[in-house]
């Protein structure tokens, strides 16, 4: 990595997450000199792979890509990171509506009508989402109407049975990591439209966004990407102040480093971008936007066993529960490794409640849940690890920024629009798979193109 000192570059980039590093690589390919200033002592941001046991990596952050994540497939191939398919054989285990724990087949036959209701609403969401232009959601013909209500309000008005409404909530919180009562309905439709259709996104079990994993862990992607541009990355330098003028920026970091350039790309979530000082100050609309762009709350908890015993019982490792603590789970085993790995999600209110408990207590409650679904053998894990993202100083929540009512229509135009020499990246500004790694790449490339065009004209 480069040595901190006064640095001169063409393009200063704030944040060495996927978006920032893609932006750096893109401007470099265009003959411009980047410098990437990263607050943390590592690259990757919301992508974080840790070994739970020697040689057994788990994804504390991003884990999957889906079939339409074309940029991520291309990046993995270029970096020499192999992919493998998510295990998806067997039945899901359900625990809903006070009916106890039911196997998938049993659940589907008992709640056939409720599942049909859910399907009807998902198709309706697909139709409405096509009316939302992803570049400018506030220009949707019904933007004012949809931005005035929450996704939860709209769901409540669909005449759903309690089971269908609960399933819809669980699926949606699994995407947004906040209760649907906190998110604008327009934001939900925008999210759907950036991803394609709900079947890609809001699946009741394995979704289109979760078909494929990376050999060695997702962390291989930022690790190898950083190795290609190592001389342009500086770690442990939180950006505190951006002075900006016409074609000139001076980016000041904690510790005294100042990087100067002609443009700056801020590749952090809007909430964190709003904590940086700007001189001259940014327009009010931009600051008010960042005041209203809260990151969700989610954590992942991994249990390791000597083998994936649930598979032998015909389960796919997925559970859906309205009791919890976890609402959902996944088989997280690694091909070629005999261990059984299972991943439980705590999202939205579940993360707020259980994420604040001492870890042993959280582990105990999650273990009890696994025992309810998969039997007493689940009480004997070899190892456990979880990760809380709102505690991380340079992320402060995940999976992304979710806009509440009235924000898109009043402030949305300030999300990605450059302000003089300042450009905005991060997945939260993407128009394709916003909130996902694919979106991080999309936004990094878009911001880099803006800079390249501006500096070549």
When the beta carbons of 147 and 386 are compared against ligand FAD, the nearer one is 386
> How far from 124 is each of 128, 181, 237, 263, CA to CA, in Å?
6, 19, 47, 43
CB of 219 to ligand FAD, least distance (A): 11
**Site stretch for ligand FAD (CB under 6 A), options 17-25, 256-264, 362-370, 416-424:** 17-25
Q: Is 152 in the site for ligand FAD (CB under 6 A)?
A: no
423 touching ligand FAD, by CB under 6 A: no
Please state whether beta strands 233-234 and 34-37 pair in parallel, antiparallel, or not at all (unpaired): parallel
- Residues 401, 406, 407, CA angle at the centre, nearest 5°? 35
Q: Provide CB contacts within 8 A for 260, sequence distance 6+.
A: 6, 7, 8, 9, 12, 248, 249, 250, 251
Our CB check for ligand FAD shows the closer of 128 and 416 to be 416
244 or 300: CB nearest ligand FAD: 300
Q: Phi and psi of 419, rounded to 5°?
A: -120, 100
Is residue 219 a contact partner of residue 44, using CB atoms and an 8 Å limit? yes
Three-state secondary structure call for residue 320: strand
Q: List the structure tokens of 315.
A: 């389960």
d(CA 388, CA 354): 10
Report the site for ligand FAD in 222-261 (rule: CB under 6 A). 238-239
CB of 336 to ligand FAD, least distance (A): 21
**Cβ proximity to ligand FAD, 395 vs 431, nearer residue:** 395
Query: What are the φ and ψ backbone dihedral angles of 397, each rounded to 5 degrees?
Result: 110, 165
Q: Which helix (H) or strand (E) holds 118?
A: helix 112-129
Residue pair 301/333 in contact (Cβ under 8 Å)? The answer is no
Q: Choose the binding region for ligand FAD from 198-206, 268-276, 316-324, 448-456 (rule: CB under 6 A).
A: 268-276
Sites for ligand FAD among residues 386-405 (CB under 6 A): 389, 394-395, 398-399
CB of 436 to ligand FAD, least distance (A): 3
| Candidate residues 15, 217, 308, 317; the one interacting with ligand FAD per rule CB under 6 A | 15
Binding mask 271-310 for ligand FAD (x = CB under 6 A): -x---x---------------------x-x----------
Q: Which stretch binds ligand FAD (CB under 6 A): 78-86, 200-208, 434-442, 449-457?
A: 434-442
C-beta closer to ligand FAD: residue 171 or 276: 276
Residue nearer to ligand FAD on the CB measure, 121 or 366: 366
Laid out side by side, the sheet with 263-266 consists of 233-234, 34-37, 11-14, 263-266, 422-424
Query: Cβ(57)–Cβ(216) under 8 Å?
Result: yes
Nearer to ligand FAD, 238 or 308 (CB): 238
Distances 35 to 13, 15, 261 between C-alpha atoms, Å: 6, 10, 9
Segment lying near ligand FAD (by CB under 6 A), choices 140-148, 262-270, 285-293, 314-322: 262-270
Give residues in contact with ligand FAD (CB under 6 A). 14-20, 37-40, 45-47, 61-65, 238-239, 267-269, 272, 276, 298, 300, 389, 394-395, 398-399, 426-427, 435-440
């Amino acid at each position: 990595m480069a040595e901190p000192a006064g640095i001169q570059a063409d393009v200063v980039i704030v944040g060495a997450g996927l978006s920032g590093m893609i932006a750096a690589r893109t401007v470099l390919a265009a003959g411009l000199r980047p410098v990437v200033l990263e607050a943390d002592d590592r690259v990757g941001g919301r992508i974080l792979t840790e070994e739970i046991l020697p040689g057994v990596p788990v994804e504390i952050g991003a884990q999957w890509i889906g079939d339409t994540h074309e940029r991520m497939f291309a990046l993995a191939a270029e970096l020499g990171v192999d992919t493998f398919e998510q295990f998806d054989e067997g039945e899901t285990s359900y625990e809903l509506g006070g009916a106890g724990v039911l196997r998938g087949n049993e659940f589907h036959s008992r709640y056939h009508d409720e599942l049909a209701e859910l399907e009807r609403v998902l198709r309706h969401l697909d139709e409405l989402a096509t009316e939302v232009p992803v570049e400018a959601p506030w220009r949707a013909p019904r933007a004012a109407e949809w931005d005035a209500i929450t996704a939860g309000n709209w769901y409540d008005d669909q005449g759903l049975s309690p089971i269908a409404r609960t399933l819809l909530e669980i699926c949606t919180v699994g995407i947004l990591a906040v209760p649907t009562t906190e998110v604008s309905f327009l934001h939900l439709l925008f999210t759907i439209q950036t991803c394609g259709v709900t079947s890609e996104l809001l699946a009741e079990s394995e979704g289109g966004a979760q078909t494929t994993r990376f050999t060695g862990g997702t962390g291989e992607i930022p690790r190898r990407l950083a190795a290609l541009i190592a001389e342009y990355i500086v770690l442990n330098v939180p950006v505190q102040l951006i002075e900006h003028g016409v074609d000139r920026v001076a980016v000041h970091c904690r510790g005294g480093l100042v990087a100067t350039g002609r443009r700056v790309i801020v590749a952090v979530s809007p909430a964190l971008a709003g904590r940086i000082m700007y001189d001259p100050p940014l327009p009010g609309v931009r600051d008010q936007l960042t005041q209203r762009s809260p990151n969700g709350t989610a954590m992942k908890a991994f249990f390791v066993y000597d083998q994936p015993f649930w598979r032998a019982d015909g389960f796919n490792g997925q559970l859906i529960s309205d009791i919890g603590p976890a609402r959902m789970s996944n088989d997280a085993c690694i091909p070629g490794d005999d261990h059984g790995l299972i991943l439980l999600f705590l999202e939205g209110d579940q993360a707020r409640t259980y994420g604040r408990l001492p870890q042993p207590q959280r582990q105990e409650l999650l273990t009890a849940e696994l025992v309810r679904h998969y039997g007493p053998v689940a009480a004997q894990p070899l190892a456990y690890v979880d990760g809380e993202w709102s505690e991380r100083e340079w992320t402060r929540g995940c999976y992304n920024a979710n806009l509440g009512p009235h924000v898109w229509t009043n402030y949305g135009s300030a999300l990605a629009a450059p302000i003089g020499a300042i450009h905005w990246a991060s997945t939260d500004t993407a128009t394709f798979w916003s909130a996902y790694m694919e979106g991080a790449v999309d936004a990094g490339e878009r911001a880099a193109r803006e800079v390249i065009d501006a500096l070549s004209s």
